Structure 1
Amino acid sequence: MDWIRENKPLAAILGVITAGSLALGYLLFGAWNSYSEVKESYLAQGGQVAALKSTRLSPDENNLKAKRGLVDEYAANVNKLGGALLILQPPVSPVKDIEFQTKLKAKIAEVRKSAVASKTVLPAEFAFGFDEYTSGLPKAEAAAELSSYLDAMVELVKLFMTCGVQSVDVLERSKLPVEQEQASATLQQRRGQQQTMVGPQIFEKREISVILTLDQGPLQLLISRLANPSDMPFFTSLRLLRVENQMPEGPLRADVRVPEAVAPVEGGNTTAAAPAADEIKPPPPAPVDSVPVIGREQLKVRMEIDLLKFIDAAKGASASTPLPGR
């Protein structure tokens, strides 16, 4: 006590330090306890999550009913969509083989006439990709599908002309399965097994390949109208688009020709060409001193378009699909 009385400032400082140390130790002890509790809770929850992930679903009756209810709801929605798509796409009308050939030739003449009016250049041998049927008849069982296929190709070419395509350089199509030779029995059996594993097919994909010459504005218009049902009544999907400049390199200086300016007529027969006294005559045009040499070329565009045709299986295929693992 005597030392504290004799050294009051130092004793006060030591007292403050001691009290602060005790308070800091208490806070540190409380924080450590909180950290330990949070860590234990985190590890416990992590163990529960890992256990839930590795646990198999209980195959009881309630889970089976819930799963069937979700599958039935999904199948009903898919069937509604498939039925709507079947109604929206143009129907396939039955035609005979000779009628299809007559229709093909009439459409070729009609589109060629429209191309002249719209200033669109078509290939010399243009038949919408059905060249073999201009001189020969298709299979009788393929005539109806080919007629619907032809309608889609006609609508596509008309869309090209409407959007301002300068020329259709290449137009090719994939063949229908009914046009090709029948596969072997083993291959058909293998395809049938694969189809059973993945479920029934609800649409057919027909591939169309074109090379066009056009400008940037018509290209943007064409891409937007391909997905517009009012402009393209058939379902299409643009799978590939490759754009190149018509002239990959700039022109040489020797290829650039500056047009000569027309010099004003001086002298001559002033009696016959004398203007009226009150006529205001514009000054002669200035000579041309520059011409654009780049930026006026067109684009070469390659497009791979998938033409989708939904079949009758799209209307009710999902309802008959069995549940996985049952």
Structure 2
Amino acid sequence: MRADKKIIEYISEQKSISVEDAMALAVERYYAKGDVFGRAGDFTTAPEISQLFGEMLGAWIVDAWTKIGTPQAFVLVEFGPGRGTLMADMLRVIEKVLPCFNALSIHLVEQSGALKQKQQEVLSRYNIKWHDTVETLPTDKPLIVIGNEFLDALPIRQYERVKDVWCERYISYGVDGQLSFQHKEVADEVNASLPKKGEGIYEHAPAREKFVRDLAIRLKAQTGCALFIDYGHEISAYGDTLQAVQSHQSVNVLETLGAADVTSHVDFDALSRSIEGCAHIYALRQQGFFLRHLGIEYRAQKLSLEKECERLVAQDQMGKLFKVFAFSDKPYALEGF
């Protein structure tokens, strides 16, 4: 499938746009298509692999609710809820602890109209409130926030040193009808903020950093905690991690822009630095370690779901690449860390 026609037209009109703007447009256009998950879609996330994933997070939420003081009312938020599968699995566990279930109100942050409709179908028995942005979430109650494979879709900027000068990567539309990367020299103030030496492509994600910083400030004001699971690296490093996936295969980003799932690896080191001083940050954990600590293997044995469990926790599957990033308004003894 070729790149989205409207994105091509827009880039052609603008002559060129930054990787950051292109990624934002591509994500918006891609998810507007509807259900892109599962075997029939482009990629499969942990909740689609096994109910075990959501059940473990549901148990984690109950424990987190206890650790933050068992508030009589709190806001459970999921960013990027996909089909609604993860929330359904989490709620099935939370319902078994009625004081916790009765205290929560469920809020989903989702911009795609097609996905909202799918979520309504999956979660029809629950009272759900939808939001397009974080700004409209309630401000008067404690928060427990979950996001699985959400951060990777927030846009990044890419920089590269060309002849000893830092340049930002842009995407342009050529006379040959093809999209291609080009470089534009950065302004002096941007240059001053970049590393002194270049060792390849340098990625910076201001949208991600602003998102977690704004959320940390909210948690400080309302109390609560946030947990995000995504793939990425523990220590900031050079490298081009921009990638596209279509029909479960890696594809060329430019050739499929807006028609495939475009993401980049999350720099958890940079995210942690961005909220230092305004949140308590927990030790970054690998997904396998985190889920094992919560007891996923015992649950898998009980349900005879060992193969699904292995895919979630094994080092050569999702267990090592995916990381668990959590922060809160103050230190709590949250499970898994």
The interval holding the TM-score normalised by the smaller chain is: under 0.3
TM-score normalised to the size of structure 2? 0.20
Q: Which protein is bigger by CA-based radius of gyration?
A: 1
More helix by share: 1
TM-score normalised to the size of structure 1? 0.20
